[in-house]
Every structure is written in C-alpha cells, then in structure tokens.
Structure 1
Amino acid sequence: MKLLTRTGNPDVARAFTNIVWLGMERLTQIAVAIVISGLLARYLGPDVFGKWQYANTLLLVIAPVTWVCGAEILVPTIVHRPPAETGVVLGSAFVLRMSVSALALVLTWAWIALGFIDPMIGAMLARLAVTLLFREPFIGVINSWLQSMTYSQPQLIASMFAALIKAALVYALVHAAAGAASFGWLWALEAAGIGGALVFYYTRRHGGKLGWRFNRALFKHFASAGMVFWIGLICMYLFLKLDRLMLAHCVSFAELGLYSAAQQLNENWIALALMLSQTIAPAFVYRVQETALLRRNLLRLFAMTAALMIAGALVLDALSGFIIARVFGPNYAGAADIFRWAMWLSVPAGIEAIGNLIVLKFQAKYVLLAKWLLALAVACVVNLIAIPRFNGYGALIGLAAGYAAAMAVNLYYLCLRLRA
C-alpha cells in the first residue's frame, strides 16, 4: 500500500485500496452466508429450509427488476457533470429507482395475498421483499456516487458490519426458537442499516444536507438509457435461479432443501471467480487497447481461471461429505453427491465470467442480451427434459447447458471482435 502511494499516482492508490476492501468484503459476505446457511439449515430442517431457499430464489429473481438505470449509466453521468449537479443526478435516479422498487414490492405482496404460492413461502418472501425499498434506491444510488470517485470503502465497510450483525441476530433468533418467517425481517433490517449509514455519510460530506432534487428530463433519460443492459441482467439472474424455480415443481421441499444447500456452497465458490474477474479486469482487459496484447491477456486469464476452478473443484469434490456434514449437519448428507457434481459448474462459470469481460469492455449490450436469452432458453428446455428424469442432477445438467450456450456466444463475439 505504501509503495503504491509513493508512486505519486492517487488513482492507482485508490484503485488498489478499493480492490483490497472489495476482497475483504466479499470474503466476509461468503463466510457469513455459509455460517447463516448452516445455522438455518440445522434449525429449520430440510423441508422448511427448502422453502426458505425458494423464497430467497424468488427474491433474487424479482430484485433485478429494480436495477433500472444501472451503474453503467449513472456513474458516467455523475463523472461528466459538474459537482453542483450531483444532487439533481442522484435525486432523479432515486425517484426512478424508488418508484420501480415500490411497485415491485406492492406487486409481490399482491401476488402473495392472492395465494399463488405456499403460505409459509409467502410469509418469508413478504418480509424479504422489503429489502427492495433500500437496496437500489438508497444503497445503489449512493454506491454509484462512491464509484464515480473510485472510493467504495464506506459502502464496503457498512456492508461488512451489517452482515456480521445479521449473523449475530440470526444466531439469537435461532436460540430464541423464532418462527421461520421472522428471519426475513433481518435481511430487510440489514438493507435498511446499510442504506441509513450511506445516507448519513453522504450528508456529512455535503454539509449536513442531502440536497437531492428531481429533474424530469434526467428521469426520462435514466428510464430509457441502459434498457437493453437491464433486460439482459434480468435474463441472467433468471437463468442462474431457474434450476430451483423449476425443480420446486418436481420434487418435495425437503429435496429442494438438499439441492439448495449444495448450490449455496457452490455459488459462494463461484463468487470468488467473479470477484477475481472484477479485480483483474481494469488492468488486463479494460485499459488494454492493442488487440494482440488483449488476445494474449485473455488466453492467460482463461488458462489461469480454468486451472484455479479445476483445482478448487478437485479439492472440494474430495471433501464434499465432510464439508456438507460440518456446515449443514447430518440431515443433509444427501446433499454431498449433488455438491460434488455442482462444484464442477464453477469451471464453465469462471470461464464465462472472463469471456464476459470483452462484452462489457466494448459495451456490446445486444450481445449481452442475446447471450443470456439463449442461455435461459437452452436451460429451460434442458430442465423440462432432465429434471423429471434426474431431479436435482437434471437441474445441474440444465445449468451446464446454459453455461455452454453463454460461453459459445462469448467465444463467437471474441473471435469476431479480436480477429487479426
């Protein structure tokens, strides 16, 4: 850190500091997620834990709807406008995001009230969905402002502390024998706490005043700009959760609980691959303009990612029974075999994440949309065939097929864009 500071380039020092804090925050989130999952899995049992996981899956499918006016639109707008206009930029984005988030929450509650899902799942989702009011309107908007300054430390610190407090509260509710649905309030409380901390930080940086103002023209611009990226992200998250959405209609919630336990650990491992790609992207992809050097960097990144994911999968495969037993307890022994196979999905997931860097570098929004639409369609068709025959293993086959389709699109675009 001191060496980077002495280079005299504050941008390099800030970027490195951001990477360090991002790594700490991601590792904290992964550790907390595993601890909380283990606590809830042991306390709720496979059947209710399956319902809890399904409620979380539904939330993660709904949440991308609130990602209108993403960071790829908001951050450049903040950067390219004078500081005096920051309040009107953030205020207009806040009104848009809060409007969409409130509508999403009301529609979610209405869907639950109409009885379209299991009552217990509905009770869990009703509480979890309150997070929509805080994530994008408050956390997302202020985090974009922080990103525009290459200074994400306040958000990352708030996120880490909130996650640790949430874990402590989960532990307390478990020992208080609280009802299953009541845990959802903790996720809403976590989002509210982070949002409140960031608003407090922002106001302190601006003389004790929020100063956000609404501008109709900016509101319309934010509502239309980035629409293709927005729809593409919705398709991506729907693809990532499609396995559990479709599996829930073919197996019991106890079996879904076993599958979700295995996938919970797998997704945390995959998150490390995504963190790696985000960390190395600026230096090795985004800032590289020479085509030959970019091709060489990508080949090295593909090889490094594949080697890392394969090595990790081999170790986790060998320790699958031990890990499942230690984290989730003896009632989840059946998840070990699913976990063994699921771990190998980290290889295509990591390779896809590296290939996606080229799509993002050149802002190929229609390629992004086409890729995830194709992956979603392929996974859906494969799931319809494989899940009724192979249950959880069929869902893994569907995910593998979807990743293969996404990688094929990445490869085609890479060859087209970087050809000699």
Structure 2
Amino acid sequence: MKALLRSGNPDVARALANIVWLGLERLTQIVVAIVISGLLARYLGPGDFGKWQYANTLLLVIAPITWVCGAEILVPTIVNRAPAETGAVLGSAFVLRMGVSIAALALTWLWIAAGGTDPLVGLMLAGLAVTMLFREPFIGVINSWLQSLTFSKPQLIASMAAAIVKAALVYMLVRLAAGAASFGWLWALEAAAIGGALVLYYMRRHGGRLGWRFDRALFSHFTRAGTVFWLGLICMYLFLKLDRLMLAQRVPFAELGLYSAAQQLNENWIALALMLAQTIAPAFVYRVQEIPALRRNLVRLFAMTAVLMIAGAAVLDALAGFIITRVFGPNYAAAAGIFRWAVWLSVPAGIEAIGNLVVLKYQAKYVLLSKWLLALAVAFAVNLIAIPRFEGYGALVGLAAGYLAAAAVNFYYIRFRLRA
C-alpha cells in the first residue's frame, strides 16, 4: 500500500480517499442503524418490532423495481458525453426513474388498501414506501453524476447528517410515545432531505440552475439498456430478504422480531464486506488489465477477506449474548443463538462480494442474472425444507446455501474469464 502511495497513482489516491469517506459514512450508518433498532425494539416489543422489520423487508423487495437504468449504465453515459449534454442525460434518467417510482408507490398503496398484509405492517409500509420517490429519481441520479466525477463526498456527508437527525427524531417519537405506524414517515423525510440537499448542491455547481431536460432518444436508450442488470439486482435483493418473507409465513411476528433483531446486526456486519469490495474495486480490479496481475490481486483479496470475516465472526460469536441484550434489551435474549450462527454468513458473503467484482468488471450481465436466479432458487428450495423443521435456523441454512451457490458461479466465471 505504501508503495502505491509513493507511486503517485491518482486512481489509487482517489480510491484511498474514497475509503476514508465511505468508511466514515458506513460506520455512521451502522451505528445509527444499531441505535435506532435498539430504541424501536425496546419500545415496540418483539411482536410489533417483528412487524416493523417485515415492513422494511417488503420495502427492500419492492424498491429494486425503481432501479431501472442503474449506475452501470448512467455513469458511463455521463462520462462519454460532452458536459453540455449532462442536463439531458440526467433529465431523461430522472423522468424514467420517477415514472417507475410513482407506479411502484401507487401499486404498493393499492396493495395495502386491498388488505394484502397485516394492517399495522401496511401502515408502516405506507410511510416507508414514499422513500421510493426520492431515492432513485433524485439521490440515485445525482449520485451517478458524482460518481462520474469520482467525488462522492457531498452525498456521503448528506447521508451521514440525515441519519444522525433521523436517529434524534426516532428518540423524540419514542419519548412522545408515538404510534408504531408513524416511524415509517421518518425514513421518507430522511430521503427527501438527502435528495433536496443534493439538488441544491448540483444547482450550486451549475450557476444556480438545475438545467435538466428530457431527450426522447436517451429515454428510449435508458429504457432498453441495463434491463438484465436490473433483473439481476431484483433477484439479488429478493434472495437477501427471502428468509424473512418465508419465515413470516411460518412463525408469529414476535418470533420473527427475534430473528430480525439478530439479522439486523448481522447485516450491518456483512455490509463491511460489501464496503471493502466497493472501495478496493476501482484500483485493484476494475483498472487492472493484465490477467496475471488481476489473478494475483484476486487471490490476495480473497485471502484478506476470508481472514477478516472469520476473525470478526469469531469475536461476534463469542460476544453474541452480551451484544444482543445490550442493544435490544433482555426481552431479546433468545435472539443471541440466531446471531451466533448468523455472523458466520459473513464469510461466504464476503467471498461472494469479491468474486462479483470480476463479473462487474467484464459487464457479464447474464452471468449476474443467472447467479442470483440460482441463489434465489437454491435458497427457496432449502427454506421449504428447513424452515418448517428448524424455523429461524432453517432460514440461515437457506441463506448459506444461496451464498455458496452464488460464490460457485463467480468462481466458475473467474476460471473461465481469466484462464491463461
């Protein structure tokens, strides 16, 4: 690492700078998520907390629908077009994403009104779903522009500030004994605040004007392009939430709350693997063209990730009881057993995240789609057998099987793509 710094490589320097900012933002988000989860778990109790987690799971299954025209399409388009065309690129992407987001929100509200889920879950989801109007149309579009400049700092600062304010507002509502359904609207407020801040920043960089405009040809291109990537991401997020979706059909919400409490902490731990992959990808995978050098980098990255995840999982396993009761309170002590096993999912998740970098480097969209379809199918099949027998532990077996299937596809593709 020191040798890379001494070389004066600007790509490496930017990657390291992004590590600092992204690491700070991820740390803030993890701390805030744990604090908020602890507050809500103690305030709502296992039953209603299980409903809150289920509402969030439903949102995270629905939200990928709005990810049409993802960053893998939008960022290269911005980079390859003249600066004068940026307004047309962003404006066309905004129209497409906003149209899809409005449709997704309307369908979600109609489904809730038709009694598609538990009444309290529906009320919680009604507020949470409003985030779709701001996440991709505003935050996603402007963040793609920032990525094209290799300058994510404004978005990260806005996200950190909004997360801290959200935590304070959650604490205030808890102190005021607010209804359980009211908390979802804080997430909508957070998304609106971040989106508004980024719009103001963009306008400040462009002489006080937004300057976005609709271009029919670009709109058609964005509608067609990236569809396979989009479907792959939908499958990935459905796989990640399939455990709670299927578990909710077999156990009471109180038990789902215990499982979700353990998984809430575990997912923040796994997020470190994803953060590691995102920050090292540009300098050590995406921009490396020589096959032998890329293979060496991948071996080192796999080894480093495995060691980090195993060491961290061992510590969390040993401290599981202490961590669960300190964060969620004594009513959630039974979640410690789930957490103790769940943390070991970080090992296959981290290995999969590193292998996925090669799939993304070569834009292997059909590999990506096939991989997550396979992981989803494997997890579904295992869950059908394991959840009725082992409940929450069975859901963990399904997740582990899905991660292993996804990692196997990555390894097969790496062997094929990087063969001598």
Q: TM-score range by the shorter chain?
A: over 0.9
Question: In structure 1, how many angstroms separate the alpha carbons of the residues matched to 2:238 and 2:42?
Answer: 28
Equivalent residue letter for 1:71? A
Equivalent residue letter for 2:31? A
8 Å contact kept, 2:23–2:275: yes
Deviation at 1:357, TM superposition (A): 0.8
Return closer, same or farther for 1:4/1:417 CA change in 2, 3 Å cut-off: closer
Q: How does 1:33-52 map to 2 (within 5 A)?
A: 33-52=33-52
* 1:111 aligned onto 2:111: yes
Q: Can you list the C-alpha shifts for 1:163-190, whole angstroms capped at 9, x where unaligned? A: 0000000000000000001000100000
Q: Can you list the C-alpha shifts for 1:42-91, whole angstroms capped at 9, x where unaligned? A: 00000000000000000000111000000011011111111111111100
Q: How does 1:396-407 map to 2 (within 5 A)?
A: 396-407=396-407
Return closer, same or farther for 1:37/1:150 CA change in 2, 3 Å cut-off: same
Q: Can you list the C-alpha shifts for 1:230-263, whole angstroms capped at 9, x where unaligned? A: 0000000000000000000000000000000000
Q: Residue 417 of structure 1 corresponds to which residue in structure 2?
A: 417
Return closer, same or farther for 1:14/1:298 CA change in 2, 3 Å cut-off: closer
8 Å contact kept, 2:11–2:283: no
Q: Residue 324 of structure 2 corresponds to which residue in structure 1?
A: 324
Equivalent residue letter for 1:332? Y
Equivalent residue letter for 1:24? L
Question: In structure 2, how many angstroms separate the alpha carbons of the residues matched to 1:218 and 1:253?
Answer: 46
Any stretches of 5+ residues in structure 2 without a counterpart? none
Q: Percent identity?
A: 83
Report the 3-state secondary structure (helix = DSSP H, G, I; strand = E; otherwise coil) of the residue aligned with 1:419.
Answer: coil
Return closer, same or farther for 1:21/1:4 CA change in 2, 3 Å cut-off: farther
Question: In structure 2, how many angstroms separate the alpha carbons of the residues matched to 1:246 and 1:390?
Answer: 13
Report the 3-state secondary structure (helix = DSSP H, G, I; strand = E; otherwise coil) of the residue aligned with 2:259.
Answer: helix
Aligned residues: 418
8 Å contact kept, 2:18–2:279: no
Return closer, same or farther for 1:166/1:7 CA change in 2, 3 Å cut-off: same
* 1:98 aligned onto 2:98: yes
Q: How does 1:255-270 map to 2 (within 5 A)?
A: 255-270=255-270
Q: Residue 226 of structure 2 corresponds to which residue in structure 1?
A: 226
Equivalent residue letter for 1:89? V
| Residue range with higher mean Cα deviation, 156-165 or 201-210 | 201-210
Q: Residue 359 of structure 1 corresponds to which residue in structure 2?
A: 359
Return closer, same or farther for 1:4/1:343 CA change in 2, 3 Å cut-off: closer
Q: Residue 309 of structure 1 corresponds to which residue in structure 2?
A: 309
Q: Residue 295 of structure 2 corresponds to which residue in structure 1?
A: 295
Q: Residue 243 of structure 2 corresponds to which residue in structure 1?
A: 243
Question: In structure 1, how many angstroms separate the alpha carbons of the residues matched to 2:397 and 2:7?
Answer: 50
Q: How does 1:156-305 map to 2 (within 5 A)?
A: 156-305=156-305
Equivalent residue letter for 2:55? A
8 Å contact kept, 2:228–2:365: yes
Q: Can you list the C-alpha shifts for 1:136-169, whole angstroms capped at 9, x where unaligned? A: 0000000011111111111000000000000000
Q: How does 1:127-138 map to 2 (within 5 A)?
A: 127-138=127-138
Question: In structure 2, how many angstroms separate the alpha carbons of the residues matched to 1:148 and 1:289?
Answer: 20
Question: In structure 2, how many angstroms separate the alpha carbons of the residues matched to 1:379 and 1:408?
Answer: 14
Report the 3-state secondary structure (helix = DSSP H, G, I; strand = E; otherwise coil) of the residue aligned with 1:178.
Answer: coil
Equivalent residue letter for 1:245? L
Question: In structure 2, how many angstroms separate the alpha carbons of the residues matched to 1:339 and 1:14?
Answer: 36
Equivalent residue letter for 1:302? F
Deviation at 1:7, TM superposition (A): 7.5
8 Å contact kept, 2:25–2:157: yes
Question: In structure 1, how many angstroms separate the alpha carbons of the residues matched to 2:286 and 2:404?
Answer: 24
Question: In structure 2, how many angstroms separate the alpha carbons of the residues matched to 1:189 and 1:243?
Answer: 28
Return closer, same or farther for 1:13/1:355 CA change in 2, 3 Å cut-off: closer
Return closer, same or farther for 1:7/1:309 CA change in 2, 3 Å cut-off: closer
Question: In structure 1, how many angstroms separate the alpha carbons of the residues matched to 2:239 and 2:117?
Answer: 21
Question: In structure 2, how many angstroms separate the alpha carbons of the residues matched to 1:331 and 1:272?
Answer: 28
Which consecutive segments of 4 or more residues in structure 1 shift more than 2 A?
Answer: 3-19
Question: In structure 2, how many angstroms separate the alpha carbons of the residues matched to 1:258 and 1:169?
Answer: 24
8 Å contact kept, 2:159–2:194: yes
Equivalent residue letter for 2:211? G
Question: In structure 1, how many angstroms separate the alpha carbons of the residues matched to 2:45 and 2:245?
Answer: 20
Q: Residue 384 of structure 2 corresponds to which residue in structure 1?
A: 384
Question: In structure 2, how many angstroms separate the alpha carbons of the residues matched to 1:87 and 1:343?
Answer: 44
Deviation at 1:10, TM superposition (A): 5.6
Deviation at 1:15, TM superposition (A): 3.7
Equivalent residue letter for 1:146? L
Equivalent residue letter for 1:68? V
8 Å contact kept, 2:12–2:283: no
Report the 3-state secondary structure (helix = DSSP H, G, I; strand = E; otherwise coil) of the residue aligned with 1:289.
Answer: coil
Question: In structure 2, how many angstroms separate the alpha carbons of the residues matched to 1:334 and 1:146?
Answer: 44
Question: In structure 2, how many angstroms separate the alpha carbons of the residues matched to 1:132 and 1:316?
Answer: 34
Deviation at 1:6, TM superposition (A): 9.7
Question: In structure 1, how many angstroms separate the alpha carbons of the residues matched to 2:409 and 2:10?
Answer: 38
Question: In structure 2, how many angstroms separate the alpha carbons of the residues matched to 1:248 and 1:131?
Answer: 24
Normalising by structure 2, report the TM-score: 0.97
Normalising by structure 1, report the TM-score: 0.97
Q: Can you list the C-alpha shifts for 1:311-365, whole angstroms capped at 9, x where unaligned? A: 1111000000000000000000000000000011010000000111110111100
Question: In structure 2, how many angstroms separate the alpha carbons of the residues matched to 1:66 and 1:44?
Answer: 30
